[in-house]
Each structure stands twice: as structure tokens, then as C-alpha cells.
Structure 1
Amino acid sequence: MPSVLSLLTDPDEFFRRRVPDPSLKGPAVVVAAIAVVSVVASLLQFQFMSQVFESGGAGGGFVTAIRAVSLVFSFALPFVFWLLYAGLFHGISALLDGEGEFSTTLALVGWGYVPSVLGSIAGAAVNYYRFNVRGIDVPTEMTMEAYQQFSQSLQTGPLVALSAVLSIVFTLWSAFLWTFALKHARDLTLRQAAITVAVPVGLGLLWTARTLLVALEVL
């Protein structure tokens, strides 16, 4: 049984040996780890968000409901993106004559999220420092002018840029692993697998790049 360490040191061999027994248990644990980190990050950030809602005149019941919905989404989204990326990769690879079961694609794509576990921890640490340690001033009255200034402060600055850079780095790392995952899951050449992965990942990186440019006040 190939170890997780071999995923990082020799992904080609790791995924080749996974194809005969593409269990979903390991990948599900990986994605669940990201979900747990997302929930913790959401809990830590909600102290700041409560101030925003209170500044806008929101009642306690509304704030509690938003918190509950936020936690549910924080946990569910990593699993949604796992399914989404696996579905896109499977569909695109079919256009390149890829062969193999979707369950195999899903399992191997899940292993490609290992770098995202580290990325989500790093991102949560940056956001914790930004919102809970360094802090952001919340207007006492959310007028239109105050809202615009506050909104700009949330989208710009070095810590926003750092979060975007971290997201790009860890996404590219996952994309590297996904290339080998699709090569074996769908019986593709390395070039075909790279094309399969590049399309969805490239679109996602465009949005992150925009966030980075806004943070640096280039846009």
C-alpha cells in the first residue's frame, strides 16, 4: 500500500498503484480534514463578522442563523468542490478518449487535495491574524460611504495578497498531483492529463489572480 509520503515524492508511482483498489476512504479523510479546518477558521472569524452584522443593525437571531449556515457551508464546500473537479476532469478527459470508472477518478482526485490541507491551515492562520490579532476597524454606523471604505479594506492589503498567493501555490501543487491522478485513472498520456487538469484549474486561478491584483490595488 503506497504511503501518503510517496504521493508527494513519487506521485506517478503512487497513483499507478492506487488504480487496482481505488478506495474512497482515504480521499474522504483528506477532504474531511480540509472541511474541519474550514469550520474552525469560520468559527474564529465569526467574532469579527458578528461586529459587522451588529454595525448593520442585525438582530441576535439573524446573526445566529447566519453563523449556523456559514458553518454548514464551510464543512460542505470542500466535498462539493471535490465532486465538481472530479466531474469536470472526468468529462474533459472523455473528450480525449479517456477510459475508466468515475469512482476511480473521484478517488484519485481526492488524494490530490493533500496539499490543500496544508493550504487551508496556512490560509486560516493568515485570516486569524488579520481579523483577530491585527484587526480591522468596523464602522459604528454602516453608511454608504463607510460601507465602501470598509469593503475596500477587506479586499486590499498585503495579507489579502498573501492569502491569494498561498491559494495559487497550493492549487498549482494539487494540479501537479491531479495530472498524474488523471493519467492513471483515465489511461491518458501525461500531456492529455495535463490538458484535462489545466482547463478547470486555469479558470479557478484566473479568479484568484484577480483577487491578488485587487489586493495590490492594480485593478
Structure 2
Amino acid sequence: MAESILTALFKPDEFFEEQSKKEASLSIPLGIICVYALLSGIAGYQMAVLMAPMYEIIAEGYGEIIAIFGAIGGFIGAALTWVVVSVIFFLLSMLFRGEGSMKKVLEAVGYGFTPLIAVAGIGVVYLAMIADQIQVTVVHDIMDPGAIEAAMGEFMAQPAMQEYTLLITVISVIFFIWAANIWYFGIRHARNLTARDAGITVLIPVAIYLIFIIITSGVFV
């Protein structure tokens, strides 16, 4: 398993060319997604714990429940991302008369999530390191959107959270480019596409997403 993952990471063209001759197998990709989803769930739990005091007036005693929902949301969201990305690549490749099953696409996309495990892991570690530096403004009126927006603004404007946002944005861009390289070769072989068609199928959606996260993060504005 480790050899397959390493080959996919550093020799994706060679790896997926060989995989295209075999039946699709989701065992390793599913394991990769489970690790990524688990780390995302931990990050969701951490963030929910940090933000729970913001709503302590109306949710007193329910902080742990809020944190658990944060963890569940992080886990499910990460797993759904795998499916959504796979569907997007599959549908776009249909424009170029791509061949190959959806299962093959899920396999290729799953391997491509390996670099993103590093992003999730670094985020978890860094959040744990800065947790004691975070202060939260209590929202006294949950029905007041302005109060919630102001509290969230103060939360994200703290130096520790700004550093966290910058770190996650930078490493997300770096590791998403790595993931895109894996997806490019994976989809090219999984759907039997030309280099041009695989590039359009994979690189354009990834570029749009990266531009989106850079803009919405606000770290370079």
C-alpha cells in the first residue's frame, strides 16, 4: 500500500498508466479519504470548541454537543468533497468523450487527496498550539445578525487566527497544486483523455477553486 501511494505521489503518470490496465479498486483511496476526513473532523471539533463560548448565553452546557457536531460536519464534509470532485471531473471529461467508469475516477481522485492530508494535519497541530491564545466575544442576542458578524470578525481578526488563516491558505495552495498534478494524470488515464482534455478537465476547476480560497481568505488583500 505504501509503495502504491508513494508512486502515485511522485510518479503519477507511471502509476496511473499501470492502474488503467487493472480493475478499479477503492480500498487504498478509501483509506486515504478516511484519514483526511478524520483529520478534518478533528479540525472541525477544535474550531467548534474555540467558538462555542461565543454562544454560551443560549447554549450553556451544550458546548460539547456543538463540538461533536463540528467534528461530524468536518468528517462528512471531507468525505463528500471526494465524491463532488470526482463527479465534477467525470462530467467535464464527458465533454471530451472520456471513457472509463466512475469508479476509476473515484480511485484516481482518492489517491490525489494524499497531499491534502498534510494540510489537514498541519491545521490540526497549529490550532492546538494557538488554542490558549484565542479569545471570543460572547453574542448576547443570537437573533442579531450584526452582533454575530461583529463577533466573527473579531474572532478571525485576532493575530493568532490571522496567522492560522495565512498558514492554511499558503499550504493549501501548495498542496492543492500537488494534488492537481496527481488528478491530472489520474483522470487522463482513468478516462483515456488527451493531455489537453485532461488539463481542461482538472486544472481549470482547480485553478478556479484556488483563486476562490485566496480571495475569500483575505490574507493577500
Which residue of structure 2 aligns with residue 99 of structure 1? 99
1:39 aligned partner, one-letter code = G
Which residue of structure 1 aligns with residue 167 of structure 2? 162
8 Å contact from structure 1 (residues 179, 197) kept in 2: yes
Question: Within 5 A, what are the aligned runs for 1:49-128?
Answer: 49-54=51-56, 56-61=57-62, 63-128=63-128
8 Å contact from structure 2 (residues 41, 75) kept in 1: yes
Q: CA offsets, 1:101-159, max 9 Å, x none? A: 111111111111110111111122222233x14x2222256575696265144157333
Query: Equivalents in 1 of 2:98, 2:148: separation in Å?
Result: 53
Single out whichever of 96-105 and 156-165 deviates more from structure 2: 156-165
TM-score scaled by length of structure 1? 0.86
Name the % identity: 28
Give the Å deviation of 1:31. 0.3
2:219 aligned partner, one-letter code = A
Which residue of structure 1 aligns with residue 204 of structure 2? 199
Single out whichever of 193-202 and 79-88 deviates more from structure 2: 193-202
Which residue of structure 2 aligns with residue 189 of structure 1? 194
1:184 aligned partner, one-letter code = H
2:8 aligned partner, one-letter code = L
Query: Equivalents in 2 of 1:5, 1:193: separation in Å?
Result: 22
When the two chains are superposed, the root-mean-square deviation of aligned CA atoms in Å is 2.3
Single out whichever of 190-199 and 81-90 deviates more from structure 2: 190-199
C-alpha distance 141-46 of structure 1, shift in aligned 2 (>3 A): closer
Divergent runs of 4+, >4 A: 140-147
Query: Equivalents in 1 of 2:33, 2:40: separation in Å?
Result: 11
Residue aligned with 1:98, SS? coil
In the alignment, structure 1 segments of 5+ residues that lack a partner are none
8 Å contact from structure 2 (residues 44, 73) kept in 1: no
C-alpha distance 152-189 of structure 1, shift in aligned 2 (>3 A): farther
In the alignment, structure 2 segments of 5+ residues that lack a partner are none
TM-score scaled by length of structure 2? 0.85
Give the Å deviation of 1:64. 4.2
C-alpha distance 164-90 of structure 1, shift in aligned 2 (>3 A): same
Query: Equivalents in 2 of 1:13, 1:111: separation in Å?
Result: 14
1:196 aligned partner, one-letter code = T
Query: Equivalents in 2 of 1:78, 1:139: separation in Å?
Result: 29
Q: CA offsets, 1:49-88, max 9 Å, x none? A: 222221x542324x34433322221111121111101111
Which residue of structure 2 aligns with residue 39 of structure 1? 41
Give the Å deviation of 1:169. 1.2
Q: Report how many residues are paired.
A: 212
